[in-house]
A and B are shown apart, each in its own frame.
Chain A
Amino acid sequence: MPEKDNHNMRDDNHEIATDGGMSDVEREQQIDYMDVEINLLKPATPFMRDHLRIIWIGFAIWAITTFAPITATRIAPDVMTTQMPLIGFPLHYFLLAIVGPGSALLLSVWYARKRDQIDEKYGIEQGVVETETTETVPDDATATDGGADE
């Protein structure tokens, strides 16, 4: 009964929203992800809310560091092409060739760390399963994989 499902989901969300007595972590533990809608703009769970917040902050900064320097150069070419003291770069060249890629890298480190912190907050641990190696597994082992329960 798929059409009813949507309805249930709204009820769930409603409950979560009005339940002020629980911490984010406790609320998160009561959620079954099979029942919550994935929405980029309206996160349905505390975890998704925390996660989407860093996604959007990161995306906004990224958009600026990626497209703003060239746009500024288009608007104010004279200011943007002034030579920088000490390192000698024209400003626009420095922002494009070094700041652009560099800030994407810093943002990535920032995001990955933030996301680890969120994982920690919600007590999420990534399983590191000893994976099968080529040497020890016969050819058809993967084909007959029964999905052994952990």
Chain B
Amino acid sequence: MIDSVPMLAEFSIDALEMAPLQADEELLPEGLDISFKLVPSIIVIGMMLMFIVAGFMFKVADTDDMWVAGRSIGNLENGMAIGANWMSAATYLGVAATVAVSGVYGLAYVIGWTTGYFILLIFMAAQMRRFGKYTAPDFVGDRFNSDTARSLAAVTTFLIGFVYALGQARGMGLVGMYILGDWSAVTGGLLTGYQTMMVIFMVITIAYLSLSGMLGATKNMVLQYVILISAFLLGLLVTGWASGYTTVLPQLEYGMMIDSLSSEFSEPFAGGSYYLWIATCFSLVFGTCGLPHVLVRFYTVQNERVARWSCTWGLFFICLLYLSAPAFAAIGTALYGEEIGAVYGDPGMTGAAGDVLVVLAAQLAELPAWFVGFVAAGGIAAAVATTAGLFIAASSAISHDIYANIINEDATQRQQVLVGRLSIILIGVLTIIFALNPQQPIAALVGFAFSLAAIVLFPMFFLGLWWEKTNRQGALAGMTTGIIVWFIPMFNEGNFGLLDGGFGIEVISTWMPAIGSALIGVPIVFAVTIAVSLVTDDPPLETKQMVRQCHSPDPMPSDKTAADIVAEKNRSGNAPADD
């Protein structure tokens, strides 16, 4: 496990060819004007205050509201929440960064992070809603009748939330520094400018989140979506216009620019091999379908039709940004090339500059500071919204799945909510510690979390919903294999300072890069789960009936779970009951 503060290990991701970030100076993006800016600061502080007020207004005291927003959320609202929840700093900042720095390889992120929603929609969204529990580990625990499986899923959920949040914290720190300047003096030089900002923003996020829970977070996510999408789209439009590259539809017009950019921008496989492209895209698609904080959004809606349409709406809201991000990357790359220096080659653009390219582009287009601040605020809104979703998912894994289901079965609502809040603080503090020296670009950090979700959780959800013979032994064997498989490339590449520098075994880093390890991992876990399920006994009939209930077209009341229906049915009918 990750248990030490990350050392500054030397590493490089093949695809991104980043120089290792050895010191804080290298985290300072060249060309970005780091200073206190009054109007942008007011915008950002006002925005954060608004989140806290909205969170406070929807303050929760019971677990239904804490975890699933009272199952009261409608189509559009949930669609926007899906969008905000989804579009993190990795989307807002990281996608444009990766497209700019690694060219066509970066488009694997654009495709992976959008098209995964279709798979989620056709195979899982409505069925998950019918299953109707609180958290993703709940599904695993109940479906496979095993507290061990529940704990494995809960630990995985926690780990995903943590790895994913590292990328968000890095985004908050970098953008915060642009707006509020270098505040390292406040800490007496103990922390650097980036670290100070990251800590400040994380603390505010944790505070608002531990107050408001899922209901507040959902209400806030709608607000956050509106802020982030308008900041991004307006930012793109105005930046393209002011710099003279595009006019009214930059999402299509940037096609004309591609010719004039360095060949690295559009040349196929310049930034990563074909295999790496497929592996990354695969990991991101199936990671999307295994991410607990995405799946839990389908528990918060009224019925399965709303689950389907809100998934579709969510994808629409997401596409608005993803169709625009490459345009931002093209304009940003052009401006960077004109005003700062060569984007590619040595020295080229650093990862940190890439990670704030969206803000940097607006600044280089010489837009007024308040407007650049608005674009930056959108990045912070994105990071806060996603961190909120992640921390809720991670804390519910601790409080609901481990504490209330395993440790203290008689836990009161009050105790559960308290443990939930404490675990939000715990994961927040962990994130802060590890994000002090982030070693990877935002999109890569987030990519690791996707591999984990794809390898460990996606097969459990998919087989659990679609193959009723999947049993406890199969699930346990599959998840254990999955966790081991995920750690192999992580150790091999020495990410997070796990082993200084890693093993560096070339075969593994070529064919099983951490960022795309799901391409190999998912089939392995599927095979193990199926094989073990086949050689062991079938699961009990109740479990099979629960799976069937998830696929039945009969409407079911929104406050019931598939398990409730099965239990009622067996009580009144003649089917065998084992209670």
Contacts and interface: CB of A to CB of B under 8 A. Distances in A.
B281 interface: yes
Contact of B252 (A87, A101, A125, A145): A87
B511 interface: no
A43 B556 CA distance: 21
A129 B302 contact: yes
Given A80-B268, A88-B256, A97 B564 contact: no
A133 B305 contact: no
Interface in A87-137: 87-90, 92-94, 96-98, 100-105, 107-109, 111-112, 115-116, 119, 122, 124-129, 131-134, 137
Interface string B384-421: 00000000000000000000000000001100000000
B552 A104 contact: no
Interface residues of A, number: 75
B117 A108 contact: yes
Given A2-B576, A89-B258, A96 B111 contact: yes
A55 B118 CA distance: 10
A89 B107 CA distance: 14
Interface stretch (B41-49, B58-66, B337-345): B58-66
A126 B62 CA distance: 27
A22 interface: no
Interface string A48-87: 1000001100110010011100110110010011011001
A133 B568 CA distance: 26
B66 to A, nearest CB: 10
Contact of B304 (A73, A126, A129): A126
A100 B575 contact: no
A89 B251 CA distance: 11
A131 B541 contact: no
B255 A5 contact: no
A48 B551 contact: yes
Question: Would you call the interface of chain A mostly helix, strand, loop, or mixed?
Answer: helix
A30 interface: no
A2 B576 CA distance: 8
A112 B309 CA distance: 6
A94 B111 CA distance: 12
Contact of A107 (B118, B303, B322): B118
B312 A109 contact: yes
B548 A33 contact: yes
Contacts of B104: 73, 92-93, 96
A101 B60 CA distance: 37
Interface of B: 58, 60-65, 70-72, 104, 107-108, 110-111, 114-115, 117-119, 121-123, 215, 251-252, 255-259, 266-269, 274, 277-278, 281, 285, 302-306, 308-309, 311-312, 315-316, 319, 322-323, 326, 412-413, 466-468, 538, 540-541, 544-545, 547-560, 564, 566, 568-569, 575-576
Interface of A: 1-2, 5, 28, 33-40, 47-48, 54-55, 58-59, 62, 65-67, 70-71, 73-74, 77, 80-81, 83-84, 87-90, 92-94, 96-98, 100-105, 107-109, 111-112, 115-116, 119, 122, 124-129, 131-134, 137, 139-143, 145, 147, 150
8 contacts: A38-B468, A88-B255, A101-B114, A108-B312, A111-B122, A111-B308, A131-B71, A147-B564
Q: Which 9 A/B pairs are nearest by Cβ-Cβ distance?
A: A33-B552, A89-B255, A88-B256, A104-B115, A101-B114, A88-B255, A100-B111, A126-B305, A96-B107
